[in-house]
Structure formats: structure tokens, C-alpha cells
A and B are shown apart, each in its own frame.
Chain A
Amino acid sequence: MKNDGGSVLKDHSVVSHEKWLKARTAFLEKEKEFTRLRDELNQRRRELPWEVVEKEYVFDGPNGRQTLDDLFDGRSQLVVYHAMFDPKSASASSSWTKDAACEQCSFWADTFNGIIVHLNHRDVTMLAVSRGPYAALNTYKGRMGWSFKWVSSGESDFNIDYQVSFTPEEMARKAGTYNYNQQPDHSEMHGISIFYKDPAGKVFHTYSSYSRGIDSLNATYQYLDLVPKGRDEGDRGPSWVCRHDEYADNAASHKGCGEQR
């Protein structure tokens, strides 16, 4: 993305109300065209073929051990947010720690925490899945004040099969596949997977998205796209993001994160 920071703010064109309206109304046509393109892309996405989920996956969570089938919780559609959190592999270079999930995933969670009640009324169950043990997930969830369901895929192959976790061997041999055609940067990566259960109880994997494919799900970024400075990330990516209780002005004890690091 173009460096969209301060440069645009100096000597920005300032016009009369009539000229402002004229430019804005012309741009509205482009926005409407974009919205139509988005509807069309969404329609094509729904036309993608599905694959049958053959394996039995077992998760550990607030309801004890549950299968993928159980996680649908009576609805026909399941959205899984793959949150990067595995205390075992936490290191100085990982975005997750021994007791906290990745900063970016925590940012995404801040945007989906309050909407699940609405998704539930569109026949969608949504939850987060991570490789870390359930106790670690639950402790961190309490710290962040979230209410969404979060289960551990623990030792099951779920995270490996849906290409958000990678074995030490894959990482060493650069043999992992992330986002269909690239290599993972870390042993845990983020993404979204969608499943459908038909009336006969058969489960299908309909869609997965990774990397910037989940960008439109973060409402914060959509608001940033409306303001003069835009995302203002230049080439630095989302390095400004902190866990919501770790920004210097929010934190009880300054832990150092984002661009304060």
C-alpha cells in the first residue's frame, strides 16, 4: 500500500462547499461500483466447491472435549478464527508469549467479540481455535475481558490440516504452505476457516482465508480507510498495534509494545 501518512496533509486541496459536494458525489459513483464488485465477489465465493471433512477432530474447551461436529452448536454454519497462541513455542521473536495470544489476533478479537450474538441469528456459530492448552486460552481471555468461545485444538491435526500451524520440520525445510502459495513466517499463523453441516450431519470445509484475506473483517481498518492519514503504516505494516491493555497510556505497567518497543 502506498505510504499514506502525513505527506497528503500539507497543502491539501481545500474548496468551497459546492466544489466539495461535486467531487464527493462523483466519487460516490466509484464507491457504488466498488460495492457492486464486492457483492459479485461474495457471490462467486459462495459458488466455490466444498470438500468433505473426513477426519475426526477433538477440541478442548469450556464444554470439555468436543468434536468439530459438536462445535456447530445446533447451527449449520461454523466460522473458526485461527488465533496464534501456543505457549510451548513462544519466543522473543514470536508475536505470542507464554501467556498471551498474538497482538494482531488480539486486535481482530477486539473487533469480533461483540458481534457473535448477531452472527448466531444468521445461523452462524463463531469461535476461536488455537493450539495452546485450554487453560492458557481461558486465562488470557479473562485478562482481555472477552466473551467469545475459544477452544484448544491441542494435539489434534486441525491446525496443521487447515494450514495455520507448522511443524518444526516444515519450518526447518521451508516446506510449509500458507495462504495457498507462500511460506509461513512463523510456526503459528492466522486465518479464518468456514464449515457447513448439512441436514444429514455431514461436515464440509467451504472456505479458508489468510494473510490480507482477513483484512476486511477488521472494522478498525475500514474506519482507518476513511480518514486523511489512512492506515498510515507505510512499509512498517501493523507494527503500531498493541494488546488493548498494553498501550502505554492504558497499561498499569508499561510493557512496551507496538512502535513504543
Chain B
Amino acid sequence: MSKHAITVTVNGEQVTKEVDARTLLVHFLREDLSLTGTHIGCDTTSCGACTVHLNGTAVKSCTVFAVQADGAKVETVESLAKGAELHPLQEGFWEMHGLQCGYCTPGMLMAAKELLAHNPDPTEEEIRWGISGNLCRCTGYNKIVEAVQYAAAKMRESREEAAV
């Protein structure tokens, strides 16, 4: 099995590691970097529990090789909060009860983050489609939608305040 040295900027920190060619990005994050917030739910790109951002685009890290992230920026759920300050999405999920067992939550947060980056004021239907690559077995999605709406409103407000 060939080994490859890769350099990846993960959550703002540059790391260089040697990995097998076949090492999946999700295992690189979880095993090599101990970033266990990114979860594995299906191995087939169906459930979205492993969603992270690769150069700002949400990807399912169970079907990306670690070597594909060489030279890239990767952001995981651990990047969202700045110290004690939660990201508006994290706040929304907590306020609106957008999680139960918490297993799908990191992937949901990262999928929702990409949605709001492209569409700061999504309709309910747009939110539902935006998270349709992520399965949740606990919440029935109502409150996840509300959590994303909460975050969208809050992020719009802070942008407006910044513009004034």
C-alpha cells in the first residue's frame, strides 16, 4: 500500500501526515487527528453524518480520500464555535431542539452552513432540500428546519448590523 504525505489545513491549522492512498478523509479526521465530531453512519454517501467542508463545499467525507484533501482547507463541526461563542446554527439547534441523539447533528450543521452560505434567506422547502442529503432518525426534521430558520435570521441580522 503506497503512502502519501499530505498537507491539509484543518479548522485553520495546517497539518502534515503520511497516509495510505486508500485512507478515507473521515478516518483521517477521526483517527489521525482525533476530530471525532464527524461521524460515520452508512459508508455509501447516503446519510450525511460525515459531512465536512472541503474548500468551502460540503462533502461526505466517507467517500473522499484523504489524499484528495492534500493542499485543501477542511472544516469540521469543531470549527463552528469560537471559544465560548456558538455559531448561530449551533445556537439554533440548541434553542429550537433541532437534535436528539446528536449523531447526525455535526453533519446537519455543516450541510446547513453551506446552504446558508449560498442562500441566506431560504424558504422552508429550500431548507428541506438543502438538508436532504442528511438523514436524521430522531427529530422528524421539523425542528431542524426551525433551527436553520433561526440561524438564517440571526446571521442576516448580524450582517445588517455590520453594514450599518
Chains A and B form a bound pair: no
Residues on A facing B (Cβ under 8 Å): none
Residues on B facing A (Cβ under 8 Å): none
